Structure 1
Amino acid sequence: MRRAINRLGIKGSVLVTSNMKPVLNYATNNSIDTSYLINSVQKSMTAAMVMREVQKGKLSLKDKLSKYYPNVAGAQKVRISNLLDMTSGLDLEKGQELGTKKFISDKANIDHDQKYTVFDAKKLGKWHYTSVNYIYLCGILSQLEHKTYEQLFRETYIEPLHLKRTEFLWSNMSKLRAVNWVPGYEMKEDQYVKVKRKTAVKDAHNELGAGSIVMSNSDLAKTIEYILHGNMLTKHSKQILFKGKAPTFYNGGLYNLKKYKSANGAGEGYYTFMRSTRDGKNMIIIQDNHTVPGEFGKIKKKVNRIMSIMMEL
């Protein structure tokens, strides 16, 4: 398995667990406790936070988006469940980007996104991947708990799980150094170029609960275990959240395949690939801070094959 993973050409860190214990834990670059921006893998954590609000009785998956954001186009037809599984029919106007040009606040970003959100009734109930769904979920979490998303994330994961290598990308450099964070690099004209931190931080604010966290492999494994195997959610809640309906099998921030669950992150010079058995006990986590255009999809397929081999062992 190590040889197969090494052939991916990853410049980063690798963790493979069996029965929640590491069987491979090494780095081809950086170190085993390096923290990387996990990008969209964070959506699984946001989704679990939303499901916990459902458990508390503060939220229903049948609630309409209009209950919280009545001014969003199509909000009276879109349910919370649609946001979670990317079947809302929502997107941003062509040419528009998430968030304000200069970050002011989470609220200002969501206010901006509301103005430029469009609704396509023909796509309601059909899978269409866009982070705007999870931005609204973050706003709903804040409304329900009267706290920022960052506060809620720290209270939900960082503090109770004692995560030592997890931080928000927009934190100050002393905090980022403390979690062993490394910047991302993108291949341009046959050489790796460091992504400007200012640009990455702005994008992290704009992606809020969908791409703003840096984590080490061990912290990521611990968090996914907590969501899938721990007591954060009841068994019933997990069954609802990760129901994995065809044809996309996407819900709760994860691709819920027949034999395993997967999540991928890409952007700002980082790749994150997470594969886990349904109970969270066996995982493959690979992170890289050197990315090459056109390589993400190829590596993702190869990681899937490695996970399939692991399932057969």
Structure 2
Amino acid sequence: MRHAIDHLGVKGSVLAIRNGKTWLKFATGNQVDTSYLINSVQKSMTAAMIMREVQKGKLKLSTKLSRFYEGIPGADQVRISNLLNMTSGLDLKPGEKLGEDIFRSDEDNFQTDIKKTSFNPKMLGKWHYTSINYVYLCGILTQLTHKSYEQLFRDTYIKPLHLKQTEFLWSSKKKLLASNWVPSYEKVDGQYQHVPHADAIKDAHDELGAGSIVMSNTDLAKVMQLILTSNFLTNKSRELLYHSVAPSYYNGGFYNLKRYKMANGAGEGYYTFFRSTHDGKTMLIVQANHTAKGKFVKIKKKINRIMDFLTYFD
């Protein structure tokens, strides 16, 4: 197992948990408690926050998007479940990018994104991966709780779990360094080049609940165990979120495979690969801060094979 992970060729941190106990914890670069930008792995946490509002009776999976954002094209047809499962038919107009050119506030970004959003009714109910779905889920959370997404995330995960290596990428350098965050590098023309922090912060604001958090492997595992194994969500809520609505392979921020759940993050010079059995007892987390074009898919396939081995006898 250790040999297989070493041969992934990543410079980062590794955590493997079997039957609820730490099995392997080591670093191929950096430290075991280094924090990395988790990118799209954050979507699973945003989805769980939405499901908590459903549990409280403040929201239904069948609620229409128009209840919160009438100005979004197709909002009277798109449901909360469509946003969670990437089946909304929503996307950015050709050539557009999330957010404003210069970040001012989350609300300004929401309103700017509305103007850039298109709706294809033929794609309603069909899977199409785009972060705009989760950005709007953040706006819905803000309206329901009267808290910013950042404050809600802190109140939901960071404070109750006493997470020490978790921060928003736009936090002060002092806070980031205290969380054991490391800068990132992308390979360009055969050489690793530092990713400008200012550019990464801009993208983190634009992605909000879909790519703005840095976490260590240990903190990531704590949050995922909370979501998958505790009474944070009821068993009924987990069934509704992950398994009851088509497409069955992607629900609530996870790819739900036969033996385990999968979530991946890539961007701004970071990789995060998360795998967990559905009961949250066996997990594999690999993170890195050196990336290269074409490596993500290759590493992902190798990690899937390692997870297949890890769960073979479960």
Band of TM-score, shorter chain: over 0.9
Which amino acid in 2 is paired with 1:42?
Answer: Q
TM-score normalised by the chain length of structure 2: 0.98
- Residue 235 of structure 1 is matched in structure 2 by 235
1:191-202 to 2 correspondence within 5 Å?
191-202=191-202
- Residue 251 of structure 2 is matched in structure 1 by 251
- Gapped runs of 5+ residues in structure 2? none
- Residue 76 of structure 1 is matched in structure 2 by 76
CA deviation map 1:31-61 (0-9, x unaligned) = 0000000000000000000000000000011
Counterpart Cα distance in 2 of 1:244 and 1:307: 24
- Gapped runs of 5+ residues in structure 1? none
Q: Percent of counterpart pairs with the same letter? A: 64
1:257-268 to 2 correspondence within 5 Å?
257-268=257-268
Shift of the 163–208 alpha-carbon distance from structure 1 to 2, 3 Å rule, reads same
Secondary structure, in 3 states, of the residue corresponding to 1:310? helix
- Residue 43 of structure 2 is matched in structure 1 by 43
Counterpart Cα distance in 1 of 2:311 and 2:173: 40
- Give the Å deviation of 1:248: 5.8
- Residue 307 of structure 2 is matched in structure 1 by 307
1:29-178 to 2 correspondence within 5 Å?
29-178=29-178
Counterpart Cα distance in 2 of 1:248 and 1:170: 34
Runs of 4+ off more than 6 Å: none
- Give the Å deviation of 1:182: 0.3
Secondary structure, in 3 states, of the residue corresponding to 2:100? coil
CA deviation map 1:177-232 (0-9, x unaligned) = 10000011000011100100000000000000000000000000010000000111
Tell me if the contact between 1:244 and 1:256 (Cα under 8 Å) persists in the aligned partners: no
Count of residues paired in the alignment: 313
- Give the Å deviation of 1:244: 6.6
Counterpart Cα distance in 2 of 1:188 and 1:292: 8
Counterpart Cα distance in 2 of 1:107 and 1:185: 31
Question: Do residues 269 (structure 1) and 262 (structure 2) align?
Answer: no
Tell me if the contact between 2:42 and 2:209 (Cα under 8 Å) persists in the aligned partners: yes
Which amino acid in 2 is paired with 1:70?
Answer: E
Tell me if the contact between 1:224 and 1:280 (Cα under 8 Å) persists in the aligned partners: yes
Counterpart Cα distance in 2 of 1:11 and 1:225: 25
- Residue 25 of structure 2 is matched in structure 1 by 25
Counterpart Cα distance in 2 of 1:47 and 1:195: 28
Counterpart Cα distance in 2 of 1:260 and 1:285: 13
Counterpart Cα distance in 1 of 2:62 and 2:7: 45
Tell me if the contact between 1:47 and 1:253 (Cα under 8 Å) persists in the aligned partners: yes
Tell me if the contact between 2:242 and 2:248 (Cα under 8 Å) persists in the aligned partners: no
- Give the Å deviation of 1:245: 5.5
- Give the Å deviation of 1:19: 1.9
CA deviation map 1:257-313 (0-9, x unaligned) = 111000000000000000000011110000000001011011111111110111114
Tell me if the contact between 1:244 and 1:257 (Cα under 8 Å) persists in the aligned partners: no
Tell me if the contact between 1:92 and 1:132 (Cα under 8 Å) persists in the aligned partners: yes
Counterpart Cα distance in 2 of 1:54 and 1:235: 13
Secondary structure, in 3 states, of the residue corresponding to 2:47? helix
- Give the Å deviation of 1:247: 5.4
Which amino acid in 2 is paired with 1:175?
Answer: K
Shift of the 145–34 alpha-carbon distance from structure 1 to 2, 3 Å rule, reads same
Counterpart Cα distance in 1 of 2:300 and 2:163: 27
1:171-186 to 2 correspondence within 5 Å?
171-186=171-186
CA deviation map 1:108-131 (0-9, x unaligned) = 001000001000001000000000
Secondary structure, in 3 states, of the residue corresponding to 1:255? strand
TM-score normalised by the chain length of structure 1: 0.99
Alpha carbon RMSD of aligned pairs, Å? Answer: 0.9
Tell me if the contact between 1:15 and 1:22 (Cα under 8 Å) persists in the aligned partners: yes
